[in-house]
Amino acid sequence: MHIDKYTKLKNGQYKLSFDNGTNALVHEDLILKYNLLINKELDEELLETILKENQSYIAYGLAIGYLKTKMRSQKEIKEYLQKKDITEDLINNAIAILKKQGYINDEIYCKCYINDRINLSNDGPYKIKENLSKLGIVEEIINHNILIFDSSLEQERIKKLINKYLKNNHNKSGFILKRKMIDNLTKLGYTKSIVISEVEKVKIDDKNIMEKEYKKIHDKLSKKYSGKELEYKVKQKMYQKGFFIE
């Protein structure tokens, strides 16, 4: 076969047009490697070798493109290439090259991820560890790097979140609010014993809150109910907010 035309495409790829009407995609490095600018005659066997080798360039190029937006774990790269129907051998080869070049480093990835979650989210250490595990980071690396999230930092973040809850939930009883804080902070991945300890230190003036809520609910429901029915409806609403009225 004779190469009639070279057409430059994206990512260093060229489309080779042959005299028999067929086309092939080949990376520019392979054009140079096999001297295809001068030696324009190819047999089927050589073309097959070149195209097979070109698949490695495609896999590598896809991975590099995926890494352009942000750092990725090895597992993320592998899953991305699998979705692109890249074979296991080519994936492993691309990952090996990227690791050697420093584009994939799960140790650095883990460290950066933890710092980002500390600075940009409310996540606690257990949630961060869980997410890193899902991203394929091995337990040894996670446990080593999560040490930055020590008990003093955890305590400090819990206190800030408690203050935020208190400001945004000023109409709830102490019982309901404390239960909600413990539940939410535990779900965020904070150590339950530290959460409970900090929440129990909070003093909430239930009497003042209850009087305000009672008046607000009573005024609203009195437009629709009266007598014992009004009293029952008010008590029911107050109970739902965690206030117990005899």
Give per-residue pLDDT as tens, 61-102: 999 999 999 999 999 999 999 999 999 999 999 999 999 999
Full set of structural domains in the chain with CATH: 3-101 (1.10.10.10), 106-149 (1.10.10.10), 152-240 (no CATH)
For the chain, how far is it from start to end, CA to CA, in angstroms?
Answer: 96
User: Between helices 174-187 and 206-221, what is the axis angle to 10°?
Assistant: 110
pLDDT at residue 208, as a whole number: 65
Say which range, 48-62, 95-109, 166-180, has the weakest mean pLDDT: 166-180
- Which of 29-38, 50-59, 99-108, 135-144 has the lowest average pLDDT? 29-38
- Tell me how far apart the alpha carbons of residues 200 and 215 are, in angstroms, rounded to a whole number: 28
* 3 state SS of 21: coil
Claim: this prediction has a pTM higher than 0.85: no
Candidates 49, 38, 43; CA nearest to 1 is 43
**Least reliable range by pLDDT among 2-11, 96-105, 152-161, 189-198:** 2-11
pLDDT reading at 234 higher than 80: no
CA-nearest of 118, 208, 184, 205 to 154 is: 118
User: Is it the case that residue 207 has pLDDT exceeding 80?
Assistant: no
Q: How many CB atoms lie within 10 A of CB 189?
A: 20
Return the biggest CA–CA distance within the chain: 101
Q: How confident is the model at residue 212 (pLDDT cuts 50, 70, 90)?
A: confident
pLDDT for 105 beyond 70: yes
Residues facing 8 on adjacent strands: 14
pLDDT of residue 222: 82
